[in-house]
Amino acid sequence: MPSSHLALVRRLYECFNSRDEACVVELCDESMEFFPVVTAGAVGRDAPYTGRAGLRDYLADVAGVWEELRISPAEVEARGDRLLVRGRVYARSRELGIRDVPVAWIWEVRDGRFVRGEVFPNPQDAAERFVGEAA
């Protein structure tokens, strides 16, 4: 895996953890589609967050649902323009409690920008999807 993939993922996660909206938007394509299952479910959303406005909405929803939410990548596997990222999420909310769990993400990257992302609360589901879509 090119170190550029790992560096790009780390940068996105750092920007997210610091809630640097400008940086998150800069790293993502204008057509970005993002599917964060738990946060979206907590606000009753069933559609992806789309485009730069969607990313801003997502960050606003994160602030509304979680008192603290931090993500950390541990391992990145690349296949073409797709990345499987395994890591952890630490989240704290009065309503939802504290979660410190393994999570995985599948990202599509083109020209150094994220164009699609999906969060998988069960990392095995992500790994199976990642391998299945590559076949």
List, run by run, the mean pLDDT of 10-residue segments along the chain (135 residues): 79 96 95 92 92 93 94 94 96 90 97 95 96 74
pLDDT at 135: 53
Comparing CA positions, the residue from 44, 110, 35 lying closest to residue 80 is 110
**Whole-number Å distance between alpha carbons of 89 and 110:** 25
Comparing CA positions, the residue from 65, 75, 27, 33 lying closest to residue 50 is 33
pLDDT at 37: 86
- How far is Cα of residue 8 from the mean position of the Cα atoms in its chain? 12
pLDDT at 3: 66
Q: Which residues pair with 120 in a beta bridge?
A: 104
Provide the residue type at 88 as one letter. Answer: R
Is it true that domain 3-134 has CATH number 3.90.1490.10?
A: no
Tell me the pTM. 0.91
pLDDT at 96: 82
- Side by side, which strands form the sheet with 97-110? 49-50, 28-35, 113-120, 97-110, 82-93, 68-79
pLDDT at 1: 44
